[in-house]
């Protein structure tokens, strides 16, 4: 009885152009940490390595065969013209290997149509030849794939907070040996702390996504290296979905989308990432959730850093290949940390007397931070059924500025802020905030979501306040010079407890300079 073929004999078989039943001039060999790929003529043969990494197990032929069949079926959902067959390598009684002898199966390989290398998205990005329009087809393709993807009670459990935490805990456990090699202890520790804070504060958001049917049988590995674009037709082809672990493929559709937006950003293609997301949301029925997207982008970057870290311990790689993998891993871990640090939403009160410039600074802060800005004057008039531009020339503390109306306005402001914070979004609230009890309401709302709380107090000299209030070019406002002293007298200064959250600025000088200082203190 002949002995089983060795792994090297299998590789040599695929490297030999004479092994194939179609025309092959030469065979190009590439490999990842889990696969060998043989580019032979018009086709690609993908051979799984006999490895067991915990999260995947290809250690036996039967497991590799099962995974190959699953890969074929799953990838045909999105790239049916590319995934063609599963080919078996047989060994005859004399020990010869071939594709066509019905004898003992020694190995299996997924057979794919070979796509032009010049259409690989990562290479197009590197060459700077990807117009934004080409990303529209990609966004549409992913959106429609997600809409067709299977969901079920079993699949939904994989989007639960328990599973999400399990995935992250596994990441931290598996990357701990690489501390000091591909990531720092500070990065590892800070990422862990920020992720734990987020899942603690937003447990209900994960449950909401499950109830909406957002957890589906997704792709699991949307990266630019495995996406091809035909520049003539605009058609996009997405390859290589995860077949070896349901926990990685069954996920929130936003987690799937985040993989590609993260990878585009990692390659410096921020505008392409925006174009992809814009098209995705246009063609899907999902809502924009920037915070949750950022959470999953951090996760995807961390996973990529982990996978690249695994490479440096694999035998057979050159020092140069290991150095490249180390640098790539560090870059992904840094990106994950950056996104994790941006997960905590901000609730910012922009306060000040009339004429202090608080509204202008609130709008500028919201623009820079991509945060929603709510104005007390607008909310107050909406509650009263008045148009926001309709000026109210009433004595101080009367009409819609009486105490009961003020209470209603501030309650509405804080309630709306709660709604934004519940989605993980930052929010800027523009009002005088003269009463400590009103500021306390906002502080409590921030604490409920473990959001960062800040008070930006806008100040200006008396002559500047009066000049602004008397200017004929001032924006429509109910503030008037004759009300200034009454408003100042009603102002309750921040307590010592509030002082640690306070940023006081003089708005009489360089507007952009002050705006930059505030933004960097709170969001950078």
Residues 6+ apart with CB under 8 A from 402: none
pLDDT at 96: 87
Does 75 fall in a domain?
yes
User: Are 197 and 447 contacting, i.e. CB atoms less than 8 angstroms apart?
Assistant: no
Residues 265 and 394 in one domain: no
125 in the Ramachandran plot: left (φ > 0), alpha (ψ -120 to 50) or beta? alpha
The whole-number average pLDDT for the span 250-276 is 97
pLDDT-derived band of residue 392, with 50, 70 and 90 as boundaries? confident
Q: What is the pLDDT of residue 476?
A: 61
Q: What is the CATH number of the domain that holds 408?
A: 3.40.50.300
Quote the pTM value: 0.84
Query: In sequence order, which residues have a C-beta less than 8 Å from that of residue 107 and are 6 or more positions away?
Result: 5, 10, 47, 61, 64, 88, 89
Judgement on whether residues 297 and 428 belong to the same structural domain of the protein? no
Helix (H) or strand (E) run with residue 141 in it: helix 132-148
Q: Is residue 478 part of a domain?
A: yes
Residues 25, 73, single domain; the answer is yes
Model pLDDT for residues 422-432, shown as the tens digit of each residue:
999 999 999 99
Which of these, 507, 505, 479, lies nearest to 392 by C-alpha position? Answer: 479
Kindly state whether residues 66 and 106 are assigned to the same domain.
yes
What does the pLDDT look like over 125-175, one tens digit per residue?
Answer: 999 988 888 899 999 999 999 999 999 999 999 999 999 999 999 999 999
What is the average pLDDT score of the chain? 93
Last residue of a domain, one of 308, 341, 374: 341
SS3 429: strand
| Domain span at 312 | 119-341
Q: Is 305 exposed, middle or buried (0-12, 13-18, 19+ CB in 10 A)?
A: buried
pLDDT at position 494 over 60 = yes
CA separation for the pair 157, 250 (Å, rounded): 9
State the virtual CA torsion across 11, 12, 14, 16 in degrees, nearest 10.
170
**Residues in a beta bridge with 179:** 183
Q: What percent of the chain is predicted at pLDDT more than 70? A: 98
Instruction: Give 124-131's long-range contacts (Cβ < 8 A, gap of 24+).
Output: 124/229, 124/231, 125/224, 125/264, 125/267, 125/268, 125/269, 125/272, 126/267, 129/231, 130/229, 130/269, 130/272
Q: Are 198 and 336 in the same domain?
A: yes
On the CB side of 314, CA atoms within 13 Å amount to 22
Q: What is the pLDDT of residue 475?
A: 65
**How many domains is the chain built from?**
3
CB 36 within 8 A of CB 47: yes
Q: Which residues pair with 505 in a beta bridge?
A: 458
Place of tokens 């640690």: 500
Hey, CA dihedral for 141, 298, 255, 113, is it positive or negative?
Answer: positive
The CA distance from 262 to 303, in Å, is 11
Above 60 in pLDDT, residue 2? no
| pLDDT tens-place string over residues 334-347 | 999 999 999 999 99
Lowest mean pLDDT among 263-272, 392-401, 457-466: 392-401
Task: Please tell me whether residues 57 and 99 are part of one structural domain.
Answer: yes
Are 93 and 126 in the same domain? no
Domain presence at residue 268: yes
Same structural domain for residues 327 and 216?
Answer: yes
Last residue of a domain, one of 320, 341, 362: 341
CA distance 471 to 482: 14
Shared domain for 94 and 197, answered yes or no, is: no
Residue 1 has pLDDT above 60, yes or no: no
Residue after which a domain boundary falls, among 92, 114, 136 = 114
Residues 161, 262 share a domain: yes
């Amino acid at each position: 009885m002949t002995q089983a073929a060795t792994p090297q004999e299998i590789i040599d078989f695929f490297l030999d152009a004479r092994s194939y039943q179609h025309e092959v001039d030469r065979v190009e060999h590439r490999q990842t940490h889990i696969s060998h790929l043989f580019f032979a003529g018009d086709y690609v043969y993908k051979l799984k390595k006999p490895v067991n990494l915990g999260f995947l197990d290809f250690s036996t032929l039967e497991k590799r065969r099962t995974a190959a069949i699953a890969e074929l079926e799953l990838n045909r959902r999105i790239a049916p013209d590319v995934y063609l067959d599963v080919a078996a390598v047989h060994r005859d009684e004399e020990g010869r290997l071939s594709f066509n002898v019905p004898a003992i199966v020694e190995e299996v390989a997924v057979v794919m149509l070979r796509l032009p290398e010049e259409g690989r998205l990562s290479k197009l990005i590197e060459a700077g030849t990807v117009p934004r329009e080409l990303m529209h087809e990609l966004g549409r393709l992913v959106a429609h794939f997600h809409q067709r993807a299977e969901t079920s009670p079993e699949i939904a459990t994989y989007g639960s907070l328990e599973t999400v935490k399990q995935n992250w805990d596994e990441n931290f456990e598996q990357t701990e040996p690489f501390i000091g090699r591909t990531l720092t202890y500070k990065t590892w520790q800070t990422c862990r702390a920020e992720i734990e804070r987020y899942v603690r504060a937003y447990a209900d958001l994960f449950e909401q996504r499950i109830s909406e049917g957002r957890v589906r049988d997704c792709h699991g590995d949307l990266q630019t290296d495995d996406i091809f674009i035909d520049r003539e037709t605009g058609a996009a082809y997405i390859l290589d979905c995860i077949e070896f672990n349901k926990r990685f493929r069954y996920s929130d559709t936003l987690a799937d989308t985040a993989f590609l937006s993260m990878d585009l950003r990692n390659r410096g293609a921020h505008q392409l990432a925006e174009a992809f997301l814009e098209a995705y949301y246009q063609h899907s029925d999902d809502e924009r959730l920037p915070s949750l997207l950022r959470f999953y982008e951090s996760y995807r970057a961390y996973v990529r850093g982990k996978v690249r870290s695994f490479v440096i311990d694999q035998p057979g790689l050159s020092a140069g290949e290991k150095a490249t993998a180390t640098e790539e891993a560090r870059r992904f871990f840094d990106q994950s940390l950056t996104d994790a640090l941006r997960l905590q939403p901000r609730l910012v009160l922009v306060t000040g007397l009339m004429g202090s410039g608080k509204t202008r600074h609130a709008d500028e802060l919201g623009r820079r931070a991509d945060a929603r800005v709510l104005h007390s004057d607008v909310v107050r008039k909406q509650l009263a059924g008045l148009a926001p531009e309709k000026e109210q020339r009433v004595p101080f503390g009367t009409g819609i500025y009486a105490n009961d109306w003020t209470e209603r306005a501030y309650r509405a402001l804080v309630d709306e802020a709660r709604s934004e914070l519940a989605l993980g979004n930052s929010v800027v609230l523009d009002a005088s905030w003269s009463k400590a009890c009103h500021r306390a309401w906002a502080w409590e709302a921030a604490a409920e979501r473990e959001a960062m709380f800040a008070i930006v107090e806008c100040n200006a000299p008396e002559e500047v306040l009066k000049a602004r209030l008397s200017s004929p070019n001032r924006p429509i406002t109910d503030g008037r010079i004759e009300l200034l002293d009454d408003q100042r007298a009603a102002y309750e200064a921040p307590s010592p407890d509030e002082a640690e959250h306070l940023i006081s600025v003089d708005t009489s000088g360089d507007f952009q300079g002050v705006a930059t200082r505030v933004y960097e203190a709170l969001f950078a």
